[in-house]
Chains A and B, each alone.
Chain A
Amino acid sequence: MNQAALGTVVRAIVRRDLLLAFRRQADVMTTVFFFVIVASLFPLGVSPEPAVLRMIAPGVLWVAALLSCLLSLGRVFTADHQDGVLEQMALIPHPLAVLVLAKVFAHWLVSGLPVVLLSLLLGVQFGLEGEALAVLALSLLLGTPTLSLIGSIGAALTLGVRGSGMLVALLVLPLFIPVLIFGAGAVSSTVSGIGAEANLSLLGACLMAAIPLAPWAAAAAVRIAVE
């Protein structure tokens, strides 16, 4: 029948979302700059002492990454819901969860990946070096997709709700906690010389669990939103 292959549909969704992000660069830049500014405020507020900075670096950078992810969650579904693109998506003859996964992937590419790359630069600013810096980037590479995936559930659940930004924060921040603990833990343990394998493995496990489960839950929420 006249039906596009799943691969074509997924590629079309990712391409459309990247194209839209490119047309609305200001939105993307806001969250990325937010990450940079929040992380840069701490040395000013706490202490410029290298030893102190190195100690707070994992926590500060991870919390900043987490907040910038939270800030960008509104972009995943809201606009699509308002202009009717989401209801059209629900009618595409393919599993909605896979299409949601494609959207979350596109969202991570524009809001998560820049944070991972910038963390290398900001890590240096906090006096992290060598292995610690690599572990920081790796932990964010494993952790930020998980944050986007979990966040997409919250974003989908609050579609059509007024003042949804605050509600999303209340819904997903508790779910972000394990990722934050393992992520910041990985970097701290490298700094103190214990080795980060355990924490990184757990972060990887979180991601592996979130890839199938989160889109499925978010898709169910999207179906309710387009009713």
Chain B
Amino acid sequence: MLEAIDLACARGERELFSGLNVTVTPGLLFAIVGENGSGKSSLLRMLCGLLPRERGVIRWNGTDIAGMKDEYTQHLTYLGHLNGIKDDLTPIENLQISAELFGDDRSVTSAREALQAVGLGRRVQALPTRVLSQGQKRRVALARLWLSRRLLWILDEPFAALDDVGTALLTEQLSRHLDAGGMAVVATHQAVGVRQESLRSLRLPG
């Protein structure tokens, strides 16, 4: 379980939000909505432990994440608005290397299956990622979610640059993750089509 209590964030002089509470339990997707610049990404990065918090506590299963570091990050998959993939490597290589780094299944077959699952065929899999479109690059980054066996997914605008088919695929995968007892925190501008009872949402003040 992930809880954040009385969280505050300031960038420079400006306070983005304060007094924020987030509780994510297994099987729950927490959607974070808000205008551009309202601090969605900052909140997610705080939840990952990348951004130091101004005030407040973030606890994973009751322990403050500041004190546990690796024990927390090993349960976490984070996808920021940067894709975190290498342009000079092929989608397959990108996926295999990140699987190796994060302790996921690193066989070629599962990497191929994951890329198939996000709609990238064999021909695209062998091209350098550099020549792919924005949406295809996003799909390469998202393919990690098909390999990830981690409990908590923190996704920053995962639907950006995706077409309808891509959105449907991702929604399906999110539902599967929640059904298996996973948790997700998703910053988004659009409605997430998972079951209503597993959806919570939070609007950040503009």
| Residues of A in contact with B (beta carbons under 8 Å apart) | 1-4, 8-9, 11-13, 15-16, 19-20, 23-24, 82-85, 87-94, 226-227
Contacts and interface: CB of A to CB of B under 8 A. Distances in A.
A2 B76 CA distance: 10
B85 interface: yes
A19 B83 CA distance: 19
Nearest to A11: B100
A2 B75 CA distance: 8
Given A2-B103, A2-B104, A88 B98 contact: yes
A88 B156 CA distance: 13
Given A4-B101, A8-B103, A91-B49, 17 more contacts: A1-B74, A3-B103, A4-B100, A83-B82, A83-B83, A83-B85, A84-B84, A84-B85, A85-B84, A87-B78, A87-B80, A88-B98, A88-B101, A91-B48, A92-B73, A93-B70, A227-B45
Contacts of B52: 227
Contacts of B101: 4, 9, 12-13, 88-89, 92
Contacts of B83: 83-84
Interface in B19-50: 45, 48-50
Contacts of B50: 87, 90-91, 226-227
Summarize A's interface: helix, strand, loop or mixed. Answer: helix
A89 B86 CA distance: 13
Nearest to A84: B82
Contacts of B172: none
Interface in B138-155: 149-150
Contacts of A93: 69-71, 73-74
Nearest to A224: B52
Contacts of B48: 91
Interface in B87-126: 87-89, 93, 97-98, 100-104
8 contacts: A83-B82, A84-B82, A84-B85, A87-B84, A90-B50, A93-B70, A93-B71, A94-B70
B158 to A, nearest CB: 14
B74 A2 contact: yes
Contacts of B128: 23
B70 A12 contact: no
Contacts of B78: 87-88, 91
A92 B102 contact: yes
A83 B76 contact: no
Contact of A2 (B45, B87, B93, B150): B150
A88 B70 CA distance: 13
B74 A24 contact: no
A23 B88 contact: yes
B168 interface: no
Given A2-B149, A12-B100, A91-B73, A83 B84 contact: yes
Contact of B80 (A23, A24, A84): A84
